[in-house]
Amino acid sequence: METQGESTHQRVLLELHEEVWQPLVLTEIPEPKDTYFIKYKFTPTSYMLVITNMYHVWTQACERDEIKKARLVGDCSSNPLSLNFLLGV
């Protein structure tokens, strides 16, 4: 059975498969042990992104309502829109 997370992950990967990988520079980590790459797509009402270190793949997609809700949290360390939260660093 497919879960909501799996369907979002697959949808993001499919929608971004033609986008070009770009290097992702992590300025918050002094000497990152991995190199990261990112693909992304922004629209006026949503965004989606894929990040990889060539071992793992992280995906995220948010619509306008989810973005507004996360902005209300205010704490970036626990905010699911935060890159640190997404990568677990």
- Which pair of tokens denotes residue 7? 């369907």
**27-64: pLDDT as tens digits:** 777 777 788 999 999 888 888 889 999 999 988 888 87
Count of domains observed in the chain = 1
Answer yes or no: is 72 within a domain: no
H or E element in which residue 39 lies: strand 36-42
**63 or 17, which is more confident:** 17
In a domain, 23, yes or no: yes
Cα gap 35→39, rounded to integer Å: 14
Q: Measured between alpha carbons, how far is 15 from 89 in angstroms, rounded to an integer?
A: 26
Q: Which residues are 65's β-sheet partners?
A: none
> Is residue 74 in some structural domain?
no
Domain span including residue 47: 4-63
CATH number at residue 36: 2.170.210.10
C-beta of residue 12 within 8 angstroms of C-beta of residue 61:
yes
